Amino acid sequence: MAVRALVVDYQPTIAYTLALVLRASGYEVRTEHSGEAALVTATEWQPDLLIIEFILADMNGLECAARIRRRSVDCGVILLYACLGDSLLEEVRRLGFGAFEKPVNPELLLAASGNLTRASVTRKGS
């Protein structure tokens, strides 16, 4: 069974490009462009991995990821950002999320994705 990844970015081109990279590596991927849509999709679809932009139109990506986790969606999280202060990066790490500054190196993203999804799938299968 393929690992499920939900990609959330307000820019459709970025979400589409990341989805292509993940699909080429065997992931099953869905994309969304807002936090509210991501909450619905994550709750219904139960992804193994969430890749989410920090800046969304309706809420920030960190808040959205935390809300998804509170809905009992046990997935690895990677936060994408263009500019993030030290205190927010500390919060990202405290929550156990990965973080990448844009533009993202696809090989590094895939490596981190593999590590986070293995942990998520192991927890789900326990």
pTM value? 0.89
Amino acid, res. 105? N
Q: Give me the residue label for tokens 């950002």.
A: 81
Q: Which fold has domain 4-125?
A: Rossmann fold (3.40.50)
H/E element, 71: none
Q: Provide the residue count of the chain.
A: 126
Amino acid 108 reads L
Q: Among 81, 74, 111, which Cα is nearest to 96's?
A: 74
Instruction: Give, for all 126 residues of the chain, the pLDDT tens digit.
Output: 789 999 999 999 999 999 999 999 999 999 999 999 999 999 999 999 999 999 999 999 999 999 999 998 889 999 999 888 888 889 898 988 999 999 999 899 998 888 776 544 444 444
Do residues 74 and 93 lie in contact, with contact meaning Cβ atoms separated by under 8 Å?
Answer: no
